[in-house]
Amino acid sequence: MLDLFLNALAAGVLLGGFYAAVTIGLTISFGQLDIVNIAHPAFIVLGSFCTFVLHEHLGLDPVLAGVLLTPVFFCIGVGLYSVYYASFERRGDETLRGLAFFFGIMFILEVLLIMTFGVDYRLVETAYIGQAIHIGPVGLPFRMLVPFAVAMATAGAIYLYLSKTFTGRAILAVAQDRLALQLMGADPVRTKQIAFGIGLATTAIAGSLLIMLGPVEPSLGRLYIGRVFAIVVLGGMGSIGGTIVAAIILGVVESMVATFYGPSWAPAVAFGFLLVTLAVRPAGLFGR
């Protein structure tokens, strides 16, 4: 029983690391910029299929493919925010119409992926994915260990960028006091363009990790919509550290429930835990 508990705990921590990877970009766009980008998981699936193409045709490692795709996704994010700002935010129509805009983007991406790849599942395989290391009775599969390590490295790089650079601090400030940011000589629109671009760039890496964990199909992103927004809220809306902690908590709860009570109960119990936490602390774990 102890071995089963330890393996479930280790699997939950690794799963939480993956959840952090798929959520970290939304922490910026939703938590910092207050943009409800409901298409975020659809871009993660797009990143998975782009990784699949690079792996199949060029033989690239999935993680390397994800990193190489980040500049492309950053540019897509900058362009997407420019359209969103000109069409909705500048006019003050971003609340409902902006949400509908990202709904539309999500469905367009799904249709394009279905027309290009069909509805079949896709998966990448590398030599190390099927391997595992063992620490005593606990097994750590590389299929989950690599996504955890990449997620922590990505989160650390974003944290350092936001806290140590002028543009990063401007991103943190733009959601709090836009006028003060203008007085400091920074362009709020340009700052939000860069921030949204960074948020979307992380979906390329998250997509490469997603297709390492298991097979993907075009509509898979819908399964992650509730989960990623829940992690951002639980973490405290915009806190990088809070997102990691919330993601690991959700991963551990899901893993424990799936191991001891069955996988069908895992999502319900995990979101029940979220509701109880928010009832006690509405601002989230690291919110102010």
The 3-state secondary structure of 135-194 reads: ECCEEEEHHHHHHHHHHHHHHHHHHHHHHHCHHHHHHHHHCCCHHHHHHCCCCHHHHHHH
- Residue 178: per-residue pLDDT: 66
Q: What is the dihedral of CA 14, 19, 21, 27, to 10 degrees?
A: -140
CA–CA gap between residue 147 and residue 16 (Å, rounded): 10
Question: Backbone phi, then psi, for 207, in 5-degree steps?
Answer: -65, -40
- Residue 138: per-residue pLDDT: 85
CA–CA gap between residue 287 and residue 130 (Å, rounded): 39
- Residue 104: per-residue pLDDT: 92
- Residue 202: per-residue pLDDT: 95
Distance of CA 134 to the CA centre of its chain: 28
Residue 276 CB burial class (10 angstroms; 0-12, 13-18, ≥19): exposed
Full-prediction pTM beyond 0.85? yes
- Residue 222: per-residue pLDDT: 86
CA–CA gap between residue 252 and residue 39 (Å, rounded): 26
Give strand ranges (E) for 181-276. Answer: none
Length reported for the chain: 288
Can you give the pLDDT of all 288 residues of the chain as single tens digits?
Answer: 778 888 889 999 999 999 999 999 999 988 888 888 999 999 999 999 999 999 999 989 999 999 999 999 999 999 999 999 988 888 777 667 888 899 999 999 999 999 999 888 998 888 888 788 888 888 888 889 999 999 999 999 999 998 888 888 888 887 676 666 666 667 888 889 999 999 999 999 999 999 998 899 998 988 888 888 888 888 888 888 889 999 999 899 888 888 888 777 767 776 777 777 777 777 777 765
